[in-house]
Amino acid sequence: MSAESGTLYGVGIGPGDPELITIKAARIIESADVVAFHAARHGRSIARRTAEAHLRPGHIEELLKYPLTVEDTDHEGGYAAAIEEFYEEASARLAAHLEAGRSIALLAAGDPLFYSSFMHMYTRLEQRYPCEIIPGITSVSAVSAAAGRPLTEHEEILTVLPGTLDEPELTRRLADTDSAVIMKLGRTFGKVRSALEASGRLAEARYVERASTSEQRVAPLAEVAPNEVPYFSAAVIPSPTDTRARGGHSAAAPRVAKGAAEGATVRADEGAASVTVVGTGPGPDYWMTPETEAALANASDLVGYATYTARVPERPGLRVHSSDNRVEIERATFALDLARAGKKVVVVSGGDPGIFAMATAVFEAADAGNYSDVEIAVLPGVTAATAVAAKAGAPLGHDLALVSLSDRLKGWEVIEQRLRALLGADLAIAIYNPASKSRREQVRRLAELVREIGGDDRVIVQGRDIGGPGEKVEVVSAAEFDPDTVDMRTLLIVGSSRTRVMQTSVGPRAYTPRSY
């Protein structure tokens, strides 16, 4: 840097309306020696057009023309390398002006530090030359104003998303937030629309094209054809308290609880009474599926065992009905009655709702109580057996069975008969509910049966608090297994005769070969 080097100004010029350029931005543009701006290959710069009234004959203009935007390239390094080469060349051109003592107003649509090309110049030059940021009005404010809808109130959360995200990630984030703005539509519009529908937000979404300009267009997003959408457009999902966006109703609008996977629709017919049964996985948030998150975001009422309802974040308008773990049929009947009353009901389980969990209880209650008018949807979840197996290696890699040692709903004689049959059939067995404080004899009897039928060298995996702070996974032989270390937070996997243990840098790992 020379002693008389110029200053680089990142000048935010707002979303497109020349009258939304701030007084300071106008002053910096007018006083700068050089005005620089980006453009696509056609060379027509929207930024220059916006700031044109503040250009003067003495300005040096630097057009930074992208070699490509979304087109294919024959550059040997691909798109990333071609763009990187452009940024290096463009920053060198600006550096030459700064070295000569010229000040530069580098125009940035919206704000210089918000999805702006300015940042690529700034990171390359700010260590060598004086730089100053002139903030501008972002497109988020412009599209909100164009839609005429409030974005946030009180403690609500606003999320700004690029449409270039993968559809499942868009779906998950839209289901999680109160309000949102999705940028960079254009070619991403079809994917964004699908994510809005999957997360139940399509009916609320407004489409805004070229906000604040004379070409501005606003419409319900559901009515927009994909071939009409330019890059300079955005989707707005307004505040949940915005009654106009919801047809005048202050309650949360019905959302579609639809999975990100193709065709994974779980929504009941419009207006029909429905209950959705979901599994939150073994515990950590990252094991909850986007489909389940979307259903929870859609719910007006949450029903479940207190341990599982506590995993669902509180939010305005969500009513939580927690109960003891021993009243499953009563809980299911309560959920069905809520659905008949017009509530959007989600029954929550841990793990997978269809494996030793609430899905069966809901169907049992519906069958016994003549609830044929209530539609029941079940969303799969990560179950404890697969979570423990993954931590231990692949002990469930071949034929397997799932057994609960709880004798609350079936007698021990039935459980033992099944264990003998499964051990005799040489299946890997995942053991749920192996023990509790008051129920200890069953797991001891299991250990005896494994040694009796499978032998002392039969592999046993013991997984406790998987995904939690107390996570512990042990791979032992039947002879080494201590049933007194087992509790209700433990899941056991008894291997088949084919299950093997290999030593690794992180300890023993068990797997059951697929060949027999």
Interval 395-440: pLDDT, tens = 999 999 999 999 888 899 999 999 999 999 999 999 999 998 888 9
Could you give phi then psi for residue 186, rounded to 5 degrees?
55, -120
DSSP H or E run through 125: helix 118-125
- 477 is a domain residue: yes
Decide if 195 contacts 171 (C-beta within 8 A).
Answer: yes
DSSP state, 53? G
Clarify whether residues 233 and 155 are in a common domain: yes
The 3-state secondary structure of 241-278, one letter per residue: CCCHHHCCCCCCCCCCCECCCCCCECCCCCCCEEEEEE
Clarify whether residues 124 and 157 are in a common domain: no
DSSP state, 24? H
pLDDT of residue 259: 36
Give dist(CA 7, CA 97) in Å, integer.
Answer: 10
Residue segments in the chain with a per-residue pLDDT below the cut of 70: 1-3, 69-77, 242-271
Average pLDDT value for the chain: 88
Decide if 515 contacts 397 (C-beta within 8 A).
Answer: no
- 109 is a domain residue: yes
The tokens describing 441, both together, are 């004899």
Clarify whether residues 373 and 446 are in a common domain: no
pLDDT of residue 271: 59
* Boundary (domain end) residue, out of 351, 378, 405: 378
Clarify whether residues 233 and 145 are in a common domain: yes
Give dist(CA 436, CA 433) in Å, integer.
Answer: 8
Decide if 339 contacts 275 (C-beta within 8 A).
Answer: yes
Clarify whether residues 402 and 339 are in a common domain: no
Task: Report how many domains make up the chain.
Answer: 4
* Boundary (domain end) residue, out of 71, 106, 137: 137
Residue closest to 245 by CA, chosen among 208, 206, 197: 206
Residue closest to 37 by CA, chosen among 79, 94, 103, 99: 94
Give the chain's largest Cα–Cα span. 96
pLDDT of residue 256: 34
Clarify whether residues 133 and 145 are in a common domain: no
pLDDT of residue 243: 43
pLDDT of residue 71: 52
Q: Which residue is it, tokens 């494994």?
A: 450
Clarify whether residues 319 and 241 are in a common domain: no
pLDDT of residue 254: 33
pLDDT of residue 263: 37
- 384 is a domain residue: no
Instruction: Name the 3-class secondary structure at 185.
Output: coil
Residue closest to 88 by CA, chosen among 54, 120, 46: 120
- 438 is a domain residue: yes
Burial class (CB in 10 A: 0-12, 13-18, 19+), 472: middle
Clarify whether residues 345 and 459 are in a common domain: no
Give dist(CA 190, CA 170) in Å, integer.
Answer: 12
Chain-centroid distance of CA 63 in Å reads 39
- E strands of 18-143, at which residues? 34-39, 60-65, 104-108, 131-134
* Boundary (domain end) residue, out of 137, 170, 195: 137
pTM of the predicted model, to two decimals? 0.54
CATH of the domain at 466: 3.30.950.10
pLDDT of residue 26: 97
Clarify whether residues 176 and 284 are in a common domain: no
pLDDT of residue 79: 73
Clarify whether residues 199 and 230 are in a common domain: yes
Clarify whether residues 29 and 121 are in a common domain: yes
- 467 is a domain residue: yes
Burial letters for 138-163: b for 16+ Cβ neighbours within 10 Å, e otherwise? bbbbbbbbbbebebbeeebebeebeb
Task: For residue 182, count other CB atoms closer than 10 A to its CB.
Answer: 31
How big is the CA angle at 62 (ends 61 and 64), to the nearest 5 degrees? 145
DSSP H or E run through 348: strand 345-349
Question: Which residues lie across from 104 on neighbouring strands?
Answer: 8, 34
The tokens describing 491, both together, are 């899941």
Residue closest to 58 by CA, chosen among 35, 27, 84, 90: 35
Structural domain boundaries, residue 75:
8-137
**Length reported for the chain:** 516
How big is the CA angle at 252 (ends 329 and 169), to the nearest 5 degrees? 85
Clarify whether residues 299 and 188 are in a common domain: no
Percent helix, strand and coil across the chain, each rounded to 5?
35, 25, 45
- 456 is a domain residue: yes
- 259 is a domain residue: no
CATH of the domain at 31: 3.40.1010.10
- 29 is a domain residue: yes
pLDDT of residue 497: 95
